Amino acid sequence: MAETDQLTADPEGGRPEGERSKKKSIMEEIKEAKQQSSNSFSFARLFCGIIFGSIVWTIMTAIFNIIPITIIIIGAVYLDDCRIQRMIPVFLIVFGAVYLLRYTMSTCVRCGTKDDDEIGTEKDADTLRFFNVLLFFVDMFLLIWFIMGSVHVYGNFSVVQFYNTTASSYCSSVAYRFAFWFITIHYIALGMCMFCCPCIICFYYARYNY
């Protein structure tokens, strides 16, 4: 009987224990973030944290990992088939490999802290800080490497040719065009995010504010 009462009611909150421990949905977290935020900037920061930390984002990034695996394969296959700029296949290989490493690290950190309300020990906190700093430097490397890849690819756009394999301006059409569209799509996605994210944040902010 005591067990039944304990499962039915929470002595502190007066709510069923099952309801108290139930995981919040993304919409509930967004609504709670609006209540906690004092201004639109604070809400935007909390909103981005909820979206990028959600299981939906984890699944999406897991699917997107097919792309870095693909660019590693393409870069490796055509490593010696880009005479105009040998760094283009190298760019593909390194970017794909480091991105996969970054995703693995961030997933491990997220899984290690997902179900904990607070860090248990000082050692755990130090470990978390270490991985966060490491992820920051990995992100900086990816950004710099991506910019270098853009220079290599766009810088040879007007002179590259795909037919005469002995010419100094030759590059495999598969490697070059894949690198070109890989970089271009990232810039397009960045532009769309810069336009759409403020609109989405303003929509949710207005929705829960009025």
Number of folded domains that form the chain: 1
- Name the nearest CA neighbour of 73 among 96, 104, 102, 51: 96
The boundaries of the domain holding residue 57 are 39-113+123-154+165-209
In a domain, 47, yes or no: yes
In a domain, 26, yes or no: no
- pLDDT attached to residue 18: 45
In a domain, 118, yes or no: no
Instruction: Please write the tens of the pLDDT for every residue from 59-103.
Output: 666 666 788 889 999 999 999 999 999 999 999 999 999 998 988
In a domain, 31, yes or no: no
In a domain, 127, yes or no: yes
Which string of b and e fits 9-47 if b means at least 16 CB within 10 Å? Answer: eeeeeeeeeeeeeeeeeeeebbeebbeebeebeebbebb
In a domain, 192, yes or no: yes
In a domain, 6, yes or no: no
In a domain, 101, yes or no: yes
- pLDDT attached to residue 93: 96
The two most distant CA atoms of the chain are separated, in Å, by: 86
